[in-house]
A and B are shown apart, each in its own frame.
Chain A
Amino acid sequence: MTVPTVDAATPPKLAVENIQKTFFKSVKDDVVGIPVLNGVSLSVSQGEFVSVIGPSGCGKSTLLRIIDGLIQPEGGRVLVDGRIVSGPGSDRAVVFQYFGLYPWRSVLRNVEFGLELKGVPAKERQEIALENIAQVGLRGFENHYPHELSGGMRQRVGFARALSLDPQIILMDEPFSSVDEQTRELLQEQLLELWSATRKTILFITHSIDEAVYMANRVVVMGARPGRIVEEITVDLPHPRTSEVRALPRFGEIRAHAWEILKKGIRESAELNAAA
């Protein structure tokens, strides 16, 4: 496993150290433990865009929730700027696959939500929210309700809400998997633009190899049962990423390589299961 070397004096933006996670399940009259993550370590520097891919059930969404502090691991720790994470914090924000919007709140009030929880005064949080709504291209939709928006627009509200909290790290859990193909490409472009404009550190979980390679500086490939990191691939494709990048031979090479590793991981876990 390759871990990027980091200057000892400055800790990485995000460090995940040897995470162990087990889920417990009732079976008949007993409880069994199912290992979900086994010794996952990862280091992400400031401003990096890191994708995580892996077969379903490899625990990538669980890993994201542990990093956010929504789930506590049984072992290991998560550090942001060298400080141990003990729960959710305003230095991290999540963009959910299911958007996570509140249907009784307008776009504006959804984007304001995190600021409202923090106790930011009404006028100030409205200003911040309006600015971020404009940034994701939803000006004019402030007073719409989620049920009036398309999937792609809803996820842009999700972005705006995350951005409003001005986090240092944005954790994205398969953010584009519930929108259609064309919308997905538009959202990918928009996210890359936002990333280069804000230089946030992004951890991006996806099940699409193409998306993982296209978006990131580095692709982390996970294997399943128990979830672990199989390999990290550096994506040496030029920026800005535009649709031409997808046509480069190098893009195809990296994607093929990622797929090989992913396949190996799937085979290995099948063998492990057969042996068990």
Chain B
Amino acid sequence: MTAIDDIALQAERARIRRTKIDRVLIVVCTFIGFLAVWEIAGRLSNPLFFAPVSDVVREFWLSLLDPRGRLLNGLVETLSVLVPGFVIASVLGVALGVLMGRSNLGFQILDPYVTIFYNTPRVALIPLLLLWIGVGDPLKIVIVILAAIFPVSVNTMVGIRDVSAQFTEPARSMNATESQLLRKVILPATFPYVVAGIKLGLGRALTTVIVAEFFVSVSGLGGILQATSSSYQMAKMFAPVIILAAMGVAIDGLLTYLERSVLRRYRS
């Protein structure tokens, strides 16, 4: 490498480093600005309707430090319906999607109902289910299942129907049985669709469980939101919001990571 090349290389490295620093600076500065505006607005406004960020952070920190506190219990309660409900919804959703994707009869029978449910706002069913199932965890689990199952099944079905002959033909040529074809070719080929369905379903499940808790829970995250806001405890009210935001971002990050690492292979 000549001296001139070397100088150019150093300059390019310096340029890339500067762009990186600039990017971090922009993010940090705007975030500090955002907190400052929040703090000032919080101090100037009526404490019944808004709280400065310092109070919110203090309340949040205190809630986190208290292992028997209301916030962590609320989180556990919400997760204890969200997780099982979502697992059931994913398994049933994939099964339903396979049935509709693989069997024309299954598709013809089920498609109208799935379309109706998929497009009905799930929260509209809460009062009805409340009447049928009553207040309690089973209600919330049913709501989560109803929220998440249809995006998963519709995506699975579309994925299965879209599996290219370029995947099925080689397997058939190598004498695959119908069961091998489904397990080793069609389901793996549908995986990206299932992940997309799960992403959509999780978002819906999270929303729906919080709304359900407005109605029936005093101790879940939705219940805490409802209770603190109706008693004008603004600083406390933000704690579940922060947790929910963090959960949403974490779920999205996890699924994005999955997409980048595994699903990368599917694009060629």
Contacts and interface: CB of A to CB of B under 8 A. Distances in A.
Nearest to A171: B173
A113 to B, nearest CB: 7
Contact of A90 (B171, B175, B184): B175
B174 A114 contact: yes
Interface residues of A, number: 24
Interface string B48-84: 0000000000000000000000000000000000000
Contact of B264 (A70, A89, A147): A147
Interface string B154-173: 00000000000011011111
Interface in B186-215: 188-189, 191
Nearest to A146: B268
Interface string B130-154: 0000000000000000000000000
A102 to B, nearest CB: 7
Contacts of B167: 100, 102
Given A146-B265, A147-B265, A147-B268, A102 B185 contact: yes
B174 A113 contact: yes
Interface in B232-268: 262, 264-268
A90 B166 CA distance: 19
B92 interface: no
A159 to B, nearest CB: 13
B176 interface: yes
B130 to A, nearest CB: 43
B134 to A, nearest CB: 45
A88 B175 contact: yes
Interface of B: 166-167, 169-177, 180, 184-185, 188-189, 191, 262, 264-268
A96 B166 CA distance: 9
Contact of B175 (A96, A102, A118, A147): A118
Contacts, number: 62
A185 B177 CA distance: 37
Interface string A104-120: 10000000011011100
27 contacts: A68-B173, A70-B169, A87-B175, A88-B172, A88-B174, A89-B175, A90-B175, A93-B174, A94-B170, A96-B166, A96-B170, A100-B169, A102-B167, A104-B188, A104-B266, A113-B170, A114-B174, A114-B175, A117-B174, A117-B176, A117-B180, A117-B184, A118-B174, A147-B265, A147-B266, A147-B267, A147-B268
The interface residues of chain B, by DSSP majority, are classed as helix
Nearest to B191: A104
B175 A98 contact: no
B189 to A, nearest CB: 8
A16 B184 CA distance: 32
A215 B189 CA distance: 35
A145 interface: yes
Contact of A70 (B172, B177, B180): B172
B173 A93 contact: yes
A145 B265 contact: yes
B188 A102 contact: yes
Contact of B171 (A87, A103, A117, A146): A117
B267 A100 contact: no
Contacts of B185: 102
Nearest to B264: A147
Contacts of A114: 174-175
A146 B267 CA distance: 10
Nearest to B176: A117
Q: When A and B form their complex, which 6 residue pairs have the shortest distance between CB atoms, in order from nearest?
A: A100-B170, A114-B174, A147-B268, A103-B265, A94-B173, A104-B188
A165 interface: yes
Contacts of A113: 170-171, 174, 184
Contacts of B191: 104
